[in-house]
């Protein structure tokens, strides 16, 4: 798998076209990207139809000066749930008190993480995080074994995995729902295999129970199993979607029972930010935050070339998954919702490992000397 990539099969014209499109995309990203500072936006109120914008957690900001407002909110909710109070009553009350929207119901997070954190306590959460990290590294080590035979190179690929989760997966951010959902989806991606999908199903189900933004992953897995006509796996993913939608309806209805028409509405999440939305979602939640924008932007997109070149089912799944989420970030999510990118960042940069092999085959193909394998 470290030999010829999927691009080794392209004709000279196709190789040249892929190279041209790749270079154009990287150049446009470097020129057009205007990163947004992770600063809380002002509260926006309208007299007739109140609207309140969410406050974004500055994942890469210096937290020594004090706890971020989002993190402080989730801390307070968890503490009160741990003391025996009702999650929905507490969440609505705390969000109102801090000028966070409570309508529509999706403005209030799913209760799963708060209940788990309250049950485990701070020490238990740290232990759970450590276990998840070990399992994630083990799963990716096994998944990469048939693709990267040499141990040093496989360690390098795991380092790229670390590049993705190192910024967000820290104790100070363990109250963020996207952090856990992202790690669990990365685990599900590593565990998934046709005929051996149950581990991935469990990991994805946990991610979905924490943050509804994990739903695209589940839909993709269901669509791919339908394409393969694996009816058992398709049924499992379909059941997960159906069960989640029922629980989500219950969640939204329960939130509605604690709110009134006087409560402010959240402003629309359909922001149509374009390429900036995609690049912000990845760069602001990773080590690329520290790079100049003209360097960070191309490095956000470059892993997709590596994933697309990989001659393995993992390459297809990762490419479809990450491009799909990229389009989602272009359409939905305001500037202060950039932290949604934590749902996919953990495994994103592993694709960088195959970029040199992809470029080798594309350049050789464009020169007309690529070997047919």
Confidence at 50, pLDDT banded by 50, 70, 90: very low
Q: Which two tokens stand for residue 24?
A: 């154009």
Q: Has this prediction a pTM greater than 0.75?
A: yes
DSSP designation for 337: G
Percent of the chain with pLDDT over 70: 90
Q: Which two tokens stand for residue 366?
A: 């464009």
Distance set, CA 80 to CA 66, 84, 89, 322 (Å): 20, 7, 10, 37
Q: Which two tokens stand for residue 120?
A: 């485990």
Does residue 298 sit in helix, strand or coil? helix
365 compared with 244, residue with greater pLDDT: 244
Mean pLDDT (the chain, rounded): 89
Contact indicator for 51, 267 with CB cutoff of 8 Å: yes
147 compared with 334, residue with greater pLDDT: 147
Q: Tell whether the model's pLDDT for residue 77 goes beyond 90.
A: yes
Contact indicator for 186, 179 with CB cutoff of 8 Å: no
Distance CA 86, CA 38 (A): 32
């Amino acid at each position: 798998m470290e030999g010829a990539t999927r691009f080794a099969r392209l004709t000279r014209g196709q190789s040249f076209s892929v190279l041209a499109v790749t270079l154009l995309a990287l150049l446009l990203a470097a020129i057009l990207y205007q990163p947004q500072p992770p600063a809380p936006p002002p509260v926006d109120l309208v007299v007739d139809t109140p609207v309140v914008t969410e406050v974004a957690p500055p994942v890469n900001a210096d937290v020594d000066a004090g706890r971020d407002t989002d993190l402080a909110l989730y801390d307070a909710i968890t503490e009160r749930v741990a003391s025996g109070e009702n999650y929905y009553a507490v969440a609505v009350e705390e969000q109102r008190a801090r000028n966070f929207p409570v309508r529509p119901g999706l403005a209030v997070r799913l209760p799963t993480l708060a209940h788990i954190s309250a049950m485990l306590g701070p020490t238990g959460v740290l232990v759970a995080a450590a276990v998840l990290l070990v399992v994630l590294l083990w799963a990716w080590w096994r998944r990469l074994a048939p693709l990267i035979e040499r141990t040093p190179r496989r360690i390098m690929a795991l380092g790229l995995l670390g590049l993705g989760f190192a910024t967000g997966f820290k104790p100070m951010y363990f109250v963020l729902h996207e952090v856990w959902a992202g790690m669990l989806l990365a685990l599900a991606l590593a565990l998934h295999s046709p005929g051996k999908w149950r581990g991935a199903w469990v990991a994805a189900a946990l991610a979905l129970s924490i943050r509804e933004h994990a739903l695209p992953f589940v839909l993709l897995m269901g669509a791919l199993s339908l394409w393969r006509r694996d009816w058992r796996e398709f049924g499992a993913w379909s059941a997960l979607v159906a069960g989640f939608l029922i629980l989500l309806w219950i969640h939204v209805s329960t939130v509605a029972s604690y709110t009134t028409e006087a409560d402010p509405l959240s402003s629309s999440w359909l922001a149509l930010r374009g390429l900036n939305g995609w690049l912000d979602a990845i760069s602001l939640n990773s080590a690329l935050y520290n790079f100049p924008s003209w360097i960070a932007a191309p490095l956000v997109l470059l892993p997709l070339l590596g994933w697309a070149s990989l001659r393995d089912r993992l390459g297809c799944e990762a490419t479809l998954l990450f491009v799909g989420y990229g389009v989602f970030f272009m359409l939905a999510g305001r500037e202060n919702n950039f932290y949604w990118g934590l749902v996919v960042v953990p495994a994103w940069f592993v694709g960088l490992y195959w970029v040199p092999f992809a470029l080798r085959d594309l350049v050789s193909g464009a020169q007309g000397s690529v070997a047919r394998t």
